[in-house]
Structure 1
Amino acid sequence: MSNPQYAAFTALDPFFDVVMRGMADDVDGNHYFEAIADDAIFEFRYVFPNFPTQTVGRDALMALYSSYGDGTVLHSGDGLVVHRSQEPGVLILEYEVHGKKLHTGKAYDNRFVSVVTIKDRKVVHWRDYMDSLAAYAAETDAAL
């Protein structure tokens, strides 16, 4: 993403790229954060210490993601499958991201399902599910 406003988030570029491909026909904006409504609600359907289960608003989401690159750097995003819900404006995105956890040196390979509600070409609700065990194993000395 070439916009200097988003330079602090480059560690997440593969995530941004894969989900924006999935939403390309339904949202406006060149960057993920431009596709998010000011008051969007984000639900994270997994529990990790010091990570919220809900965040409200684009600014809060940007603040939450601002230090992502301190611990994780992604190098790719793939496996994208887009399902259109019977409910208008709802997409179900399946995708994977791959990278490295910096403090453990371990590979980070995770799978996600995101249920995304779009209104007036902006994301207004995002419910996220991921492979919590893969994330935990990359963060710790635990072996899968």
Structure 2
Amino acid sequence: MASRKYAAYAPAAPYFDLVRRALGDRVDGEHFFDIVADDIAYEVLYEFPGWPRVLRGRTELMASFRGYVDNIALQAVDTLVTHVADGGRVVVLEYEVHGTVLATGAKYDNRFCSIVTIENRKIAYWRDYMDSLAAWNALTARGR
């Protein structure tokens, strides 16, 4: 079952659930990591210390998300706006995340725009935009 298989990633569950719901029957798989292609290219178009610009493959993506969930716990992901293009092959997701930086207890609120390309019922390519300053401010805050 996906919930046990990916239990270590529970702090990001609201994000994974939102993406899975947003893509609906365009992809196959129960959990976020099940709906990404083995050779996914996950590109982030922002500079953030410690996060690479391009992640290649499911294994590398999972390792990077492991670092994410070791540092941030999400409580909610909302304000989803979905745009479908190219006959459903491309889906643009706009959303906000709300969480806590685990080391300091600082609030983490951010906005994202993700462009998802689907091939063979899996996410083949992901391009991500976020408010880098919001992330930086949350991760460098001194805490409560």
With normalisation by structure 2, the TM-score equals 0.92
Q: Distance in 2 between matches of 1:105 and 1:35?
A: 31
**SS state at 1:24 partner:** helix
Summarize the alignment of residues 1-144 of structure 1 with structure 2, pairs less than 5 Å apart: 3-86=3-86, 88-141=88-141
Shift of 1:50: 1.4
Shift of 1:124: 0.2
Shift of 1:88: 4.9
Question: Which structure has the highest helix share of the two?
Answer: 2
For structure 1, the residue ranges without an aligned partner over 5 or more in a row are: none
Shift of 1:67: 2.5
For structure 2, the residue ranges without an aligned partner over 5 or more in a row are: none
**SS state at 2:26 partner:** coil
Contact 1:104/1:138, CA 8 A, preserved across alignment: no
Q: Distance in 1 between matches of 2:86 and 2:118?
A: 13
Cα deviation code 1:82-123 (max 9, x no counterpart): 001246500000011111011222110111000000011100
**SS state at 2:100 partner:** strand
Q: Distance in 1 between matches of 2:77 and 2:116?
A: 18
Contact 1:93/1:114, CA 8 A, preserved across alignment: yes
Give, as a single letter, the amino acid of the residue that structure 1 aligns with 2:32: Y
Cα deviation code 1:58-95 (max 9, x no counterpart): 11100111122221100111111100124650000001
Q: How many equivalent pairs are there? A: 142
Shift of 1:3: 2.5
